[in-house]
Amino acid sequence: MQTRHMGQFWGEHQAEYPTSEDLAPLLDLADIEPQRLIVMESPPLRRMMCYSADKQYVAQIQDSRVHLNWRKLIPENQYPRYPQVHDKYQRLWQEFQNFIKREQVGEISPSRFELTYYNHIELGRDVAASLEQHIKLFRFSPIQASYLSPPESVNIVWKFAMPNQMGTGTVTLTNGTNQQGQNLLLLNLTCAGTPSEKYKEADWYEAAHEWIVRSFTELTTDQAHQKWGREK
pLDDT digits (tens, 9 = 90+) for 120-177: 888 877 778 888 888 888 777 777 778 988 888 889 999 999 999 999 999 999 988 8
Q: Coil, strand, or helix at residue 107?
A: coil
What are 16-38's pLDDT values in tens digits?
Answer: 999 999 999 988 765 444 555 55
In the prediction, which pLDDT does 230 show? 67
The Cα 223–Cα 218 span in angstroms is 12
In this structure, the answer to whether residues 188 and 119 fall within a common structural domain is yes
In this structure, the answer to whether residues 223 and 154 fall within a common structural domain is yes
CA-to-CA dists, residue 79 to 74, 82, 117, angstroms: 11, 9, 12
In this structure, the answer to whether residues 127 and 220 fall within a common structural domain is yes
In the prediction, which pLDDT does 133 show? 85
Please, what's the largest Cα pairwise distance for the chain? 68
Instruction: Return the CATH number at 141.
Output: 3.30.530
Tell me 84's DSSP state. H
In this structure, the answer to whether residues 143 and 221 fall within a common structural domain is yes
The Cα 7–Cα 13 span in angstroms is 10
In the prediction, which pLDDT does 41 show? 66
The Cα 64–Cα 44 span in angstroms is 11
Residue 131 in any domain: the answer is yes
Q: Coil, strand, or helix at residue 57?
A: strand
In this structure, the answer to whether residues 76 and 151 fall within a common structural domain is no
In this structure, the answer to whether residues 117 and 80 fall within a common structural domain is no
What are 89-110's pLDDT values in tens digits?
Answer: 999 999 999 999 999 999 899 9
Residue 172 in any domain: the answer is yes
Helix axes of 3-12 and 82-102: crossing angle, nearest 10 degrees: 130
In the prediction, which pLDDT does 138 show? 79
User: What is the number of domains present in the chain?
Assistant: 2
Residue 107 in any domain: the answer is no
Residue 108 in any domain: the answer is no
In this structure, the answer to whether residues 97 and 119 fall within a common structural domain is no
Name the nearest CA neighbour of 31 among 100, 112, 93: 112
In this structure, the answer to whether residues 51 and 24 fall within a common structural domain is yes
Q: Do residues 134 and 221 touch, judged by C-beta distance below 8 A?
A: yes
Edge-to-edge order in the sheet of strand 65-70: 19-23, 47-51, 57-62, 65-70
Provide the residue range defining the domain that includes 185: 113-228
In this structure, the answer to whether residues 96 and 128 fall within a common structural domain is no
Question: Alpha helices of 103-200 — where are they, by DSSP H?
Answer: 127-134
> Per-residue confidence at 76, pLDDT binned at 50, 70, 90?
confident
In this structure, the answer to whether residues 57 and 128 fall within a common structural domain is no
In the prediction, which pLDDT does 66 show? 96
Task: Report the residue count for the chain.
Answer: 232
Q: What whole-number percentage of the chain has pLDDT above 70?
A: 93
Query: Where among 82, 102, 122 does a domain terminate?
Result: 102
Query: Where among 67, 102, 137 does a domain terminate?
Result: 102
